[in-house]
Every structure is written in structure tokens, then in C-alpha cells.
Amino acid sequence: MNFIKTDIEGVAILEPKVFGDRRGYFFECFEQREFDAALGFHVEFVQDNQSMSAEKGVIRGLHFQKGDSSQAKLVRVISGAVMDVAVDMRTDSPTFGKFVSVVLTGENKRMFFIPRHFAHGFAVLEPNSVFTYKCDNYYDPSSEGGIIWNDPDIAIPWPVTSEEVILSDRDKFWPSMKDLSKNR
């Protein structure tokens, strides 16, 4: 597994070694010892989630869990393609409010590690994209939060216009990062 550091401390892109032949392919998508050694700390995943987005233009996020319910995530696409985004919400971080994005596809098999205290979201680039993520903490609905997907201060270059985007009702009304910070 190739671990690629990003411009934000703790966020990493993972490229597995894929073994293919005429039958198809095989790759190891997670190995605890190698993962911990590459990160320099232990992450114990306790929950796996999966979503399918039927249409190109769906944006899910930007979501996070607050406080002790915060979740580190290891995400990947099984089929289809997404642009995945992690936004640093650590107020004491020099990269607070900055983001890292990566295109994840069923074909490139890349994975994205997002530490705790980050907002996470993705834009669907191909219909019927299947997205999966491992979490190191259980989902707690009472700790759920979000940031509006098109926050001008974060300025994520989403591959979809405001007219094309497909959002859940909940994702249409999250506050901006600035408004969220005022209420802390």
C-alpha cells in the first residue's frame, strides 16, 4: 500500500497494490498493522457504511460528528466515481478551514483517510456510484453537524454547478463555516 501525505496533517491518500490478470483483480483494501505503521498511530474501525448515489451531480455533505463523537474515516469507491473532500475543523490547526480533495473511482481503487474533527463530503461524478467508509466511532445522531456545501470561504471547486447539484433537504440548510465558528 502506498500512503501519500497531503497538505493537511493527518489526511492521506492510499493507493493499494492491485494484482490483476485475465480473471480480474485482487487487492488488500485494509491491513491494520500496515495502516497503523503508515499513520504513526492506531485507528480502530468499529462501523462500516455504504451509500449508492443514482445520479451524477449528487453532493453528500459536508458532514461531521461533534466532540467525542467525532469520527475518523477510511473511504473508497467500489464502483463509479466521486470527488471526495475533507475540511479541517480543528480550531487549533494551522490549516483550519482548508480542504483536501481527491477523485476516487472503482477503477483507480484509491482510498482517502480523514482524521477526526474534519467535515467530509463528496460529489458524484458517475451515476450509480457505490461509496463505502470505515468509521472509528459509532454514529451519534445527537452529535451530527454540517457545513453548507458551497461555503464561499472554503471555496471547494465542486465539479457541479448550483443549478445541477442534487442535495438532500438537510444538506441545503447547513450553516457556513464562519457562522458555525461564531456559535462555538
H or E, element range at 180: helix 177-182
Q: Strand, coil or helix: what is 133?
A: strand
Amino acid making up residue 37: A
**Active-site option among 25, 133, 138, 139:** 133
Asked about 133 being catalytic, the answer comes back as yes
Q: Which of 42, 63, 117, 139 is catalytic?
A: 63
Of 84, 82, 58, 81, give the one whose Cα is nearest residue 73.
Answer: 84
SS3 at position 60: strand
For residue 118, give the nearest of 15, 3, 9 by alpha carbon. 9
| Residues 167, 53 contacting (CB under 8 angstroms) | no
3-state helix, strand, coil in the chain (%, to 5): 10, 40, 45
User: Where in the sequence numbering do the catalytic residues fall?
Assistant: 63, 133
